[in-house]
Structure 1
Amino acid sequence: MNLQVLNKRELLGKQFVIYGDLENPLFLARDVAEWIDYDLSSVNKLVSQVDDDEKVRKNVPTLGGNQEMWLLSEDGLYEVLMQSRKPIAKEFKKKVKEILKDIRSKGMYATDELLDNPDLLIKVATQLKEERAARKELETEVKKQGQIIGELRPKADYVDRILKSKSLLNIGQIAKDYGLSGQALNKILHNLKVQYKQGNQWLLYSKYQSKGYTHSESIDIQLSDGSTKVELRTKWTQKGRLFLYELLKDNGYLPMIERN
């Protein structure tokens, strides 16, 4: 992504360019050196005067293509200007502060060229209006996306929980996610033609039998005479639980975690 030019003009007889944005304006170290008549062959020495968090290397578009160069932050610029003994450094510092303050408060800096040229002023003002409208539209879209993400997060949390678990579940455990009893959920699934009852066990219709949604587990039932009998119970796999989630959602049943 190309480095954005925030503002460009002539200042105190020098080419003056602000890169980045209003929150984090950046200034090309080579430009700064030229402003204060610093040796251009020693730009790295100038950059070494500031802390690491006050400088950054970025690709800057030039006539020869993009080149990686040093840029100074606002604090880094003020530090270099303050250390310079050249009178022009003090003037530049004052002007830069004035320009940034004006841009931040009004969104633009009214130069003499603008003030003396009504047509140019109208053109710049129109561009500013269009940019602000586009920014507002973008902010609205970002808010919309934020709302959508917020709405989808509960679903993602629930699905993540399903995918992370490897255990088998009985229908009562799944029903609990929906605020239902196992009996009520079995009835819903029967009405949706997912399962039917054979003896004491719920079985899937042939359409779903080979999908890996359920697993039959044998359990021992203690009888009143002290003997035991073995019965089969249907348990749901996590794949089956995810299937139920999509099926129930399509039919108006949401897990409690996704409800408002």
Structure 2
Amino acid sequence: MKDLIPIKVENDQQLLSARDLHKGLGLKRQFTDWVKQNFKDFEENTDFVFTPQSVNMPNGGTKQIKDYFLTIDMAKQLCLMSRTEKGKQYRKYLIEVERKWNDPQEVVKRGYAILQNENTQLKLENKNLTVQLEESNKKASYLDVILGTPDALAITQIAADYGYGAVNFNKLLKQVGIQHKVNGQWILYKVYMGKGYVVSQAFTFKDHYGKDRSKTTTYWTQKGRKLIYDVLKDNDILPLIERDDIA
């Protein structure tokens, strides 16, 4: 049977335009008057949905006009109410459309399509959740490293986590306001002093004369490494394992 009127499917329901039906039935009454007279016995958002449409104007612009999407049942009743030959023709057509829609094979096909779509959506959601979880784990991983390494570390080791050498990393910590140099030695700014961020450890070595010498070196505690991480992160500087541009 030739298609008499466009049918759209939305939320597994067949719908058609009230304006298309009004035009197809060849009714003389104005569309708005027809709607006012015939829609009062139907329930909005159940039998029909208000759906304004944009139409092109001769001057090149567009205009919004009123339209409604009707269920097949409502459309069939409107055809009967028209009491015209066109109404009988359209009603017969809509009955056939409905019959095909309710054919068991078509129902199974639609159900399978819905399941496939839901499965695809579920896979996408699972993929998104996996990515979010990976990102969450990735962001937490450096903190895990810190928490899993209770021993104090030299600045050289921490600098390597960020892809820096010790010299440049010390300068970076100065730029972000953690430390400054006093008499050739890196010292924490006052706000960070005495809070357990660093410890001093002495080590002995032989000078070029073969004499034993002793020197004090600063090591960063777990708490201090966390401070470095937080301050650098606030300045958009991340360790290598948390950077998206590092594979």
Could you say which structure has the larger radius of gyration? 2
| TM-score normalised by L of structure 2 | 0.47
- Which gives a bigger RCO, structure 1 or 2 (Cα 8 Å, sep 6+)? 2
| TM-score normalised by L of structure 1 | 0.45
